[in-house]
Amino acid sequence: MNRSFPRLLFASIGLIAACACLSGCESKARSSVDKVWGIHGTRFGWLDKPRVAALDSEDRLYITDLTDRIQVFDRDGAFVRGWHTPDFNVDGPSGLTIDRLGRLLVADTHFYRVLVYSREGELLFQIGDGVQGTTPGRFGYPTDVVVDKAGNFYVSEYGENDRIQVFSPKGEWLRQWGGHGTEPGSFLRPRAMAIDENDHIYVADSCNHRVQVFDARGNLVGMWGKRGAAPGEMSYPYDVALGPNNDLYVCEYGNQRVQKFSREGKSLGIWGRPGRAPGELNNPWALAVDRRGTVFVIDSNNHRVQRFHM
Amino acid sequence: MESMLARTATAIGRPWWLILLVVCLPPVVLMSRKSLAGLGKTRRAAAILIRSAVITLLVLALARLQAVRISDRMTTLFLLDVSQSVPREWRGPMLEYINQAITRQKRADDLAGVIAFGKEPRIEVPPTPTFNRIQGLETTIDAEYTDLSAALKQALATFPEDTARRIVLLSDGNQNRGDAIEQASAARRLGVEIDVVPIQYKYDREVLVEKVSIPPDVKKGETVDINVVIRAGEPTKGTLQIFQKADNYRSPAPGNEQPIPITLERGLNVRTLKQTITEPNFYTFTAEFIPEEGSGDRRAINNSAEGFTMARGAAQVLLIEGTRGDHDDLVKALRSKGIGVTVMVAPRIDGSGAVGGDALPTDLAQLQPYDTVVLADVPKDSFTDTQQKLLESNVHDMGAGLVMLGGPNSFGAGGWKDSPVEKALPVDMQIKAMRVMGKSALALIMHASEIAEGNYWQKVIAQQAIKTLSNYDYCGLIHWQGQEAWLFPLREIGATRGSMLRSIDRMTPGDMPDFDPSLQMAMKGLVVKSDAMTKHIIIISDGDPTPPTPAVIRALAASKVTVTTVLTAAHGNDQSAINVMSNLAKQTKGRFYNVTNPRALPRIYQKEARIISRPLIFERKPPWTPNLIYASEPLNGIPATLPGISGIVLTSLKESELVEAPMMSPLPTGQPNPLLAHWTYGLGRSVAFTSDAGRRWATAWTSWPNYAAFWSQVIRWSMRPVERGNLTINLRRENGKVKVVVDALDAENQFLNFLTMKGVVVRPDLTRGTVELAQTAPGHYEATIEGAEASGNYFVNIGYRGAKGFQGVVSSGVSVPYSDEYRELRADPETLGSIASLAGGETIEWKYRPNQEVDYQAMLDSRNVFERDKNQPPPKSYRDLWPDLLFWASFLFLLDVAVRRIAPDFDRIRAGFVTAWTKLRGDEAVGREEYLDKLKSRKADVVERIEKSRAATRFEPIPRDPATSPGESVVAAERAREAPPRGDSSKPSISPGAAKPAEPESYTDRLLRAKQKVWEDRNPGKKDDGK
Amino acid B965: pLDDT: 47
A235 to B483: CB separation less than 8 angstroms, yes or no? yes
Model pLDDT for residues A194-252, shown as the tens digit of each residue: 999 999 999 999 989 999 999 999 999 999 999 999 999 999 999 999 998 889 999 99
**CB contact at 8 A, A44 and A31:** no
User: How many angstroms away from the CA of B482 is the closest CA of chain A?
Assistant: 4
**CB contact at 8 A, B334 and B388:** no
Of B451, B547, B902, the CB nearest to A5: B902
User: How many angstroms away from the CA of B478 is the closest CA of chain A?
Assistant: 16
A283 to B580: CB separation less than 8 angstroms, yes or no? no
The pTM (predicted TM-score) of the whole model is 0.56
User: How many angstroms away from the CA of B56 is the closest CA of chain A?
Assistant: 20
For B521, the enclosing helix (H) or strand (E) is helix B516-527
**β-strands B111-117, B121-128 pairing:** antiparallel
Amino acid B81: pLDDT: 92
Strands (E), B304-385: 304-312, 316-321, 340-345, 348-350, 353-355, 372-376
User: How many angstroms away from the CA of A292 is the closest CA of chain B?
Assistant: 27
Model pLDDT for residues A139-152, shown as the tens digit of each residue: 988 999 999 999 99
Phi, psi of B820 (to 5 degrees): -60, -15
Percent of chain B, pLDDT > 90? 12
CA distance B187 to B181: 10
Of A3, A45, A132, the CB nearest to B575: A132
Query: A27 falls in which pLDDT band (50, 70, 90)?
Result: very low
Of A9, A207, A283, the CB nearest to B902: A9
Closest Cα in chain A to B511 = A283
Closest Cα in chain B to A77 = B130
A254 to B574: CB separation less than 8 angstroms, yes or no? no
Mean pLDDT over A168-189 rounds to 91
Closest Cα in chain A to B899 = A9
Full set of structural domains in chain B with CATH: 2-70+878-901 (no CATH), 73-201+826-873 (3.40.50.410), 207-312 (2.60.40.10), 318-433+616-718 (3.40.50.880), 439-611 (3.40.50.410), 726-816 (2.60.40.1930), 926-1018 (no CATH)
Q: Which stretches of chain B score pLDDT less than 70? A: 1-7, 219-220, 248, 351-353, 432-438, 448-453, 569-573, 613-615, 722-725, 735, 804-805, 807, 923-931, 950-1002, 1018-1027
A79 to B132: CB separation less than 8 angstroms, yes or no? yes
B903 to A2: CB separation less than 8 angstroms, yes or no? yes
Q: Which residues contact B48 (CB under 8 A, 6 or more apart)?
A: B28, B29, B32, B33, B36
Q: Is B735 left (phi over 0), alpha (psi -120 to 50) or beta?
A: left
**CB contact at 8 A, A55 and A61:** yes
User: How many angstroms away from the CA of A81 is the closest CA of chain B?
Assistant: 13
Closest Cα in chain B to A187 = B546
User: How many angstroms away from the CA of B557 is the closest CA of chain A?
Assistant: 20
Of A12, A91, A283, the CB nearest to B571: A91
Closest Cα in chain A to B583 = A160
Residues from chain B that touch A45, judged by Cβ atoms under 8 A, are 130, 132
Nearest to A246 by CA among A220, A266, A222, A271: A266
Of A141, A236, A301, the CB nearest to B544: A141
CA distance A91 to A85: 11
Model pLDDT for residues B931-957, shown as the tens digit of each residue: 677 778 788 888 888 777 766 555 444
**β-strands A220-224, A210-214 pairing:** antiparallel
More confident site: B589 or A298: A298
Residues from chain B that touch A94, judged by Cβ atoms under 8 A, are none
- Per DSSP, B64 falls in state T
**CB contact at 8 A, B565 and B581:** yes
Residues from chain B that touch A1, judged by Cβ atoms under 8 A, are 903, 905, 907-908
B903 to A41: CB separation less than 8 angstroms, yes or no? no
CA distance B685 to B717: 8
Amino acid B117: pLDDT: 93
Residues from chain B that touch A90, judged by Cβ atoms under 8 A, are 450-452, 570-571
**Is A46 a residue whose pLDDT tops 80?**
yes
Amino acid B970: pLDDT: 44
Question: Which of A2, A12, A48, A108 is the best residue to mutate to test the B interface, defined by the most B CB atoms within 10 Å of its own CB?
Answer: A12
Residues from chain B that touch A181, judged by Cβ atoms under 8 A, are 549
Question: Which of A2, A3, A9 is the best residue to mutate to test the B interface, defined by the most B CB atoms within 10 Å of its own CB?
Answer: A9
Closest Cα in chain A to B129 = A39
Model pLDDT for residues A269-283, shown as the tens digit of each residue: 999 988 888 889 988
Amino acid B924: pLDDT: 55
B482 to A255: CB separation less than 8 angstroms, yes or no? yes
ipTM: 0.72
User: How many angstroms away from the CA of B907 is the closest CA of chain A?
Assistant: 9
CA distance B678 to B891: 78
B908 to A3: CB separation less than 8 angstroms, yes or no? yes
Closest Cα in chain B to A48 = B450
Nearest to B326 by CA among B384, B413, B409, B401: B409
Of A89, A236, A274, the CB nearest to B572: A89
Interface of B with A (CB under 8 A): 126, 128, 130, 132, 138, 450-452, 482-483, 510-511, 513-514, 516, 544, 546-547, 549, 570-572, 574-576, 579-580, 891, 894-895, 898, 902-905, 907-909
Q: How many CB pairs under 8 A join A and B?
A: 101
Q: Which residues contact B1013 (CB under 8 A, 6 or more apart)?
A: B966
B544 to A6: CB separation less than 8 angstroms, yes or no? no
**Is A25 a residue whose pLDDT tops 60?**
no
Of A3, A180, A254, the CB nearest to B905: A3
Question: Which of A283, A299, A301, A305 is the best residue to mutate to test the B interface, defined by the most B CB atoms within 10 Å of its own CB?
Answer: A283
Question: Which of B905, B906, B915 is the best residue to mutate to test the A interface, defined by the most A CB atoms within 10 Å of its own CB?
Answer: B905
Closest Cα in chain B to A51 = B511
User: How many angstroms away from the CA of A40 is the closest CA of chain B?
Assistant: 10
What number does CATH give the domain A35-309?
2.120.10.30
User: How many angstroms away from the CA of B114 is the closest CA of chain A?
Assistant: 14
**CB contact at 8 A, B665 and B624:** yes
